[in-house]
């Protein structure tokens, strides 16, 4: 779409408000609404001013003026607002020079796409994320000086078999690790997911599949189409917005938190990716599982930089509740065709156009702009320096003899460790001016605030383990 198309859309749909949206460092969308009386072509030319100092990890108060520059191609009508509202995703721009702000995730992703082209390796990076999520009936938590607790309320949960409900306890629900693909009434969320799919397609995000996932208590997945780096990150933000708000409209609550319940599967975000040039898939070849040498080098770069990547692809303290060895989590830094125990899988496909790799350790707590960019930069480093990943791992990596298990590297075990690796191993992200040192420093500082808060808070489990010591 062009700005002219957007103006026409405003007239045809009788739009009353325009919502400018952008994504902060943590990956959460922010917005500001403008009445249609104050919206015109000038917004595409001059942008919309806002205070960047109020966004965590961004400008100081002494240099706070920033501009939101809307991207006409992202326009859609918000399905949840009472008044007809047009949504436009924006880049955050420095007003002094008109360039993308070095801490704006979408601007970073745009610089990554430009870097790929300038490298001569390829012209397009395609990404296909699979963010899983939970839908609960309600959730409670409390953290203060008197103590802390959290509680998930879910009629679908395996633990609800003896609970009393107003309409009676039907008894149909997924068992622990029993949520993959059962029909209703065991899958109680089909209609909600269907409404999410309808809303996604109305907002321009193509949907390919939806289903219940493995965990009890409402774990779900909606599969949407792959696309180029920036657009696919845009779509991921739209998906999160729609999932949260459709669940809310049903009186339920959705979360992309990687590990909200104990003792069942966490939510991952497997990310399919490939590099193309001149309409040709550079990952297709005659090597292992139909991969090219370029694809193997890309895998080599991901494995080499995996622990630094963890700080961006698994950016929450909660992320590492999911990435625990021995619990069917993708912690082993190996690659394999069709083997889901490896952290990098080569999906089985019927033609070379679909040839790709699937990186399985990321989770949906990640900022998609930063995560896709960081993985591509790691992969490009692998290609540029011909980093071969070694032999594939075709055994079940969850059940190896100790001597073999010790030889395979793993992802980080904590966010603090991941941030240390990012700090020391950041060079590959700085190439082409994609990330800046200032941005990475600010990112580490922001995430370390979360680490420190987590470290300082007494956990209920510690009472069980230590109270009588």
Q: Which helix (H) or strand (E) holds 209?
A: strand 207-212
List 42, 51, 191, 201, catalytic entry = 51
Residue 403 catalytic? Answer: no
List 78, 91, 221, 363, catalytic entry = 221
Burial of 144 (0-12, 13-18, 19+ CB in 10 A): exposed
Query: Could you tell me if 365 and 319 are in contact, meaning their C-beta atoms sit under 8 angstroms apart?
Result: yes
For residue 117, the SS3 value is helix
List 48, 212, 270, 322, catalytic entry = 270
Residue 132 catalytic? Answer: yes
List 91, 104, 358, 381, catalytic entry = 358
Residue 322 catalytic? Answer: no
Q: How far is CA 69 from CA 40, 107, 217, in A?
A: 13, 11, 41
For 38, other C-beta atoms within 10 Å of its C-beta total 11
List 71, 113, 130, 234, catalytic entry = 130
Residue 94 catalytic? Answer: no
Strands 344-346 vs 335-337: parallel, antiparallel or unpaired? parallel
Query: Could you tell me if 291 and 285 are in contact, meaning their C-beta atoms sit under 8 angstroms apart?
Result: yes
List 340, 420, 423, 431, catalytic entry = 340
Report the alpha-carbon distance of residue 414 to residue 418 in Å, rounded.
6
Structural tokens at position 335: 């690659």
CA 147 to the chain's CA centroid: 32
Residue 115: which of 378, 302, 419 has the closest Cα?
A: 378
List 113, 213, 363, 381, catalytic entry = 213
Q: How far is CA 284 from CA 83, 229, 276, 292, 296, in A?
A: 48, 19, 10, 5, 10
**Residue that is written with structure tokens 């109270």 in the block:** 467
Residue 221 catalytic? Answer: yes
Q: Which helix (H) or strand (E) holds 130?
A: strand 124-136
- In angstroms and rounded to an integer, the radius of gyration of the C-alpha atoms of the chain is 23
Report the alpha-carbon distance of residue 96 to residue 375 in Å, rounded.
31
Residue 270 catalytic? Answer: yes
List 78, 94, 104, 132, catalytic entry = 132
Residue 328 catalytic? Answer: no
Active centre residues (catalytic):
51, 130, 132, 213, 221, 270, 340, 358, 360
């Amino acid at each position: 779409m062009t700005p002219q198309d957007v103006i026409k859309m405003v007239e045809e749909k009788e739009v009353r408000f325009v919502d400018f949206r952008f994504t902060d460092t943590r990956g959460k969308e922010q917005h500001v609404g403008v009445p249609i009386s104050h919206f015109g072509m000038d917004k595409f030319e001059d942008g919309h001013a806002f205070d960047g100092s109020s966004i965590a990890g961004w400008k100081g108060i002494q240099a706070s003026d920033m501009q939101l520059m809307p991207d006409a191609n992202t326009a859609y009508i918000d399905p949840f607002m009472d008044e007809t509202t047009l949504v436009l995703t924006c880049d955050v721009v420095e007003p002094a020079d008109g360039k993308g702000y070095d801490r704006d995730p979408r601007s970073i992703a745009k610089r990554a796409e430009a870097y790929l082209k300038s490298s001569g390796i390829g012209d397009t990076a395609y990404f296909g994320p699979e963010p899983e999520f939970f839908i609960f009936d309600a959730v409670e938590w409390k953290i203060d000086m008197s103590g802390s607790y959290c509680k998930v309320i879910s009629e679908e949960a395996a633990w609800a078999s003896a609970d009393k409900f107003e309409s009676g306890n039907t008894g149909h629900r997924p068992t622990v690790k029993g949520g993959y693909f059962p029909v209703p009434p065991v899958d109680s969320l089909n209609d909600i997911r269907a409404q999410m799919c309808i809303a996604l397609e109305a907002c321009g995000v193509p949907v390919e599949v939806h289903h219940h996932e493995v965990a009890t208590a409402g774990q779900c997945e909606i599969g949407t189409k792959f696309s180029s780096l920036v657009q696919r990150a845009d779509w991921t933000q739209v998906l999160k917005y729609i999932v949260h708000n459709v669940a809310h409209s049903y009186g339920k609550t959705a979360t992309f938190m990687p590990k909200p319940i104990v003792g069942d599967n966490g939510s991952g975000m497997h990310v399919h990716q490939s590099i193309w040039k001149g309409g040709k898939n550079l990952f297709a070849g005659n090597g292992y599982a139909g991969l090219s040498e370029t694809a193997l080098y890309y895998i080599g770069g991901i494995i080499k930089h995996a622990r630094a990547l963890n700080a961006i692809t698994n950016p929450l303290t909660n992320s590492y509740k999911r990435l625990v060895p021995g619990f069917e989590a993708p912690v082993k830094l190996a690659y394999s065709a069709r083997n889901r125990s490896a952290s990098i899988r080569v999906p089985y496909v019927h033609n070379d156009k679909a040839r790709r790799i699937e990186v399985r350790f990321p989770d949906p707590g990640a900022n998609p702009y930063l995560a896709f960019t960081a993985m591509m930069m790691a992969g490009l480093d692998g290609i540029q320096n011909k980093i071969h990943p070694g032999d594939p791992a075709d055994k079940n990596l969850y059940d190896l003899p100790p001597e073999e298990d010790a030889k395979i590297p793993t992802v980080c075990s904590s966010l603090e460790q991941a941030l240390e690796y990012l700090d020391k191993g950041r060079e590959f992200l700085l190439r082409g001016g994609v990330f800046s040192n200032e941005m990475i420093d600010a990112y580490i500082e922001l995430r370390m605030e979360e680490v420190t808060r987590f470290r300082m808070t007494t956990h209920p489990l510690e009472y069980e383990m230590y109270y009588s010591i």
